[in-house]
Structure 1
């Protein structure tokens, strides 16, 4: 997609899903919400959230683990169904973000806008959450930030077929609803809850990491950006909200660095490894973790993330 198509798509996916949420609320009040709708929504939410967090983010962007080509492609297609952009575009933006996080050039920092006080803060948060995707001058050159993916034929094809894949992500839950209930109503409400409502919620969980997790929360590590950990967002974002952890150790397969930090995406990677479906899983050395938490570092002893 070119810049204009990207903005139109973002506007469409920002306006249509909220209307679907309102329709879903009407259905809920009208007692048309069925157990099948909840099941279809949960299935699609999990598939698409793992596609973004495990596929787009930890696999394609940071190379936190390696896997077979079929699993790599399945995760990438699942990420595309989330509607957050073609994989090559998504990865280019995110790698650029890590290079200049919260500095000039960061595509979605909430700390670079004009204005002061509450109004300025809200304006900057809006930009980091969604507004940056509507910027007509937004560009992150794929050949500069992710030439590895540009050279990969499968990634080019998935990126080119992004819009049909998003549409399939709406039609698939409708088909699931039809198979489960055997009714046209089940198909319609399945597409509504598992397609449009899921699209709305999965995307805004991801957008919240860009905005909320660079503005509110706890800073365990003294990183050079404003990344923060937000505990209440950790589970719905599948572990992405341990964002300060992630900026301290970008290549780590797990963002939840302690046992109590819930990280479903990291858990999936470890499961794949245990099943011998993932390899070269990047872990943080415990000594390095302890030193970083104390604000110290061991220069030369450990590889740089």
Structure 2
């Protein structure tokens, strides 16, 4: 070490970024009463009180890391006898021979009592700040929990709203909006995999007569009961929907024409054999099985045309669009 620095009128310490003392000048050793061997390779916090360690952690390290230097830090160090020696510390981070160190210059304070009062005040403020921080963090944790709970409630509410927006209120079946989205997805799957599917369009025969004779409340009962019947006879992967008025649609994945005829015929018979408050009730059914080039519009049109053919053929019957393909 340069002789002028060794005997400079201020203390000098060099520490690592972990706080290990790597060098000091004679002036500092003289002021503190230590030998060089007593401090070399020791942690600087070993000659600090708990309060000063707190100041060092909350001010010195953060500023060195952020700015590369610290100016006019009030700090007390313990001398060899255990007494406290107040200093003003200036520190600077630099690299010496490839090693990152922090050089510190310590000027002993002349007004010790004033400094100790200031240190006590700073310590109290830091303790209050930490207490306030802990309180704020606890409140933030509570707010975070409340937000998570509200988000969970909102997600549940959204799920209910989505369910309601895609469900027919009267029958509990899917509504037309959901049906159109599902049909679009089924067509995409067909184009990708060639997996067949069929679509049934079901209409209650002479439904207007039911409303006119028994009233709309009974008409609603008939719609609800037919919806229940469709739901009961549908597979989990099928989609049963109320298309509008007294018309219902059933999407049957993995089902070709012949199988769909059997399903439709079973549904027709179940409706005819069921007990209704209105007496005997029948349905007419039209079927369309997806083919290359079909769209949502063409499939619904084919099923609707097949349904019309069932109506024209005397009602209470099943017709597949393949039965009159040549006429389409």
Same fold (TM over 0.5): no
Q: Which has the larger radius of gyration?
A: 2
Higher relative contact order at CA 8 Å, sep ≥6: structure 1 or structure 2? 1
Q: TM-score, normalised by structure 1?
A: 0.24
Q: Which has the larger helix fraction?
A: 1
Q: TM-score, normalised by structure 2?
A: 0.23
